[in-house]
Amino acid sequence: MLEHVIILLIALVVLVWSADKFVLGASSLARNLGISPMIIGLTIVAMGSSAPEMMVAAAASLQGNPNTAIGNAIGSNITNIALVLGLTVLIKPLVVSSSTIKQELPLLLILTILAYWMLSDDFFSFTEGLILMVGFFAFISVLLIKAIKQRNNNSLDDPMIIEAEYEIPEATSTVKSIFWLIVGISLLVSSAHFLVDSAIFIAKAYGISDLVIGLTVIAIGTSLPELAASIASVMKKEDDLAMGNIVGSNIFNILAVLPFAGLIAPGQINPEASFRDAPVMIAITGLLFLLCFSRKSGYFRLTRAKGALLLVSFIAYQILLFSQTTFS
């Protein structure tokens, strides 16, 4: 058992580290090929923080454990808002004015409800997974088209997009870029495999379901990049980017992480995902929506009191989760 715990912890560290190196290699290579920093910031860098979730979801589904993938997607969304954003706001209150975030928050709530509807019959099909994945590419396309139009019209004033450009890693030589790209992808795949294997072994040893292990240990572990990125952003007074990291990551989790379970291992899922966890995800997302749009102004403010409320919500969910879990 101790061996698998050690493997799980090492795999988590390597997973997060390799995601960072993947972003470094991919963004640097893209810059060397002449791709706009704005496009790199909105795609490669933005998706980099969700790379661990995507790899874990793919690995779990390939190993015939779609509930782990579903738990990872749902648990990461709950963790990102309630834990990551809650802790970030406790460190420093946020003042957000990005028009992109104001548009993405309602979209996130709609997608969260859609995900619940798809899971509500305790069956996740290939078609449902395909619909979500197509939605992911449509979302990225619309985001890029909007940003490019604003840039071409010299009207790009969205602070989140501007701040995202500044977060692009420094360019390196093409050879180094390719090296880090290959290293990042290789370690992402292998660490995700070891992480899922060890997590499932531990879960079975203690009689915990694949769903719960995905909702807790894996979800919290794969959300570490969002925590690091958000805290780093608020320390640099990039409030819009800190909030954008959370909202964007959650949209990616629904549109690009959750689909792997349906595309690779469609079929029956643990009913607890639909009657307990997905409703909590809706409630937490709805709470964030209310906290952000509780006042009519050109910006919204997240105070430490609101951060504390989000953190308490996360703790309450963990208590609920483990109070309903029987350990053998």
Q: For residue 169, give the CATH number of its domain.
A: 1.20.1420.30
Smallest CA-to-CA distance from 151 within 258, 37, 283 is with 37
CA 208, distance to chain mean position in Å, is 23
d(CA 328, CA 206): 5
Q: Does residue 288 contact residue 112 with C-beta atoms inside 8 Å?
A: no
Q: What is the pLDDT of residue 242?
A: 80
d(CA 265, CA 260): 8
Q: Between the CA atoms of 118, 325, 211 and 311, what dihedral angle is there, to the nearest 10 degrees?
A: 80
DSSP secondary structure letter of residue 65 = -
- pTM here is 0.86
d(CA 107, CA 102): 9
CB atoms inside a 10 Å sphere around CB 86: 24
Q: What is the pLDDT of residue 269?
A: 93
Q: What is the pLDDT of residue 160?
A: 59
d(CA 281, CA 27): 32
Residues of the chain with pLDDT under 50: none
CB atoms inside a 10 Å sphere around CB 271: 13
Q: What is the pLDDT of residue 163?
A: 57
Q: What is the pLDDT of residue 199?
A: 81
Q: At what angle do helices 224-235 and 239-252 cross, to 10 degrees?
A: 160
Categorise residue 154: left if φ over 0, alpha if ψ from -120 to 50, beta otherwise.
left
Q: What is the pLDDT of residue 40?
A: 65
How many folded domains does the chain comprise? Answer: 1
Q: Is residue 328 part of a domain?
A: no
Q: For residue 242, give its domain range.
A: 2-323
Categorise residue 237: left if φ over 0, alpha if ψ from -120 to 50, beta otherwise.
left
Q: What is the pLDDT of residue 63?
A: 87
Q: What is the pLDDT of residue 83?
A: 94
Q: Which amino acid is at 152?
A: N
Q: Is residue 65 part of a domain?
A: yes
- Name residue, tokens 């309602």: 106
Give the count of alpha carbons within 13 A of 289, CB side only: 15
d(CA 117, CA 111): 10
Q: Is residue 45 part of a domain?
A: yes
Q: Is residue 106 part of a domain?
A: yes
Smallest CA-to-CA distance from 164 within 178, 180, 144 is with 144
Helix (H) or strand (E) holding 300: strand 300-302
Q: What are the φ/ψ torsions at residue 17 (nearest 5 degrees)?
A: -65, -45
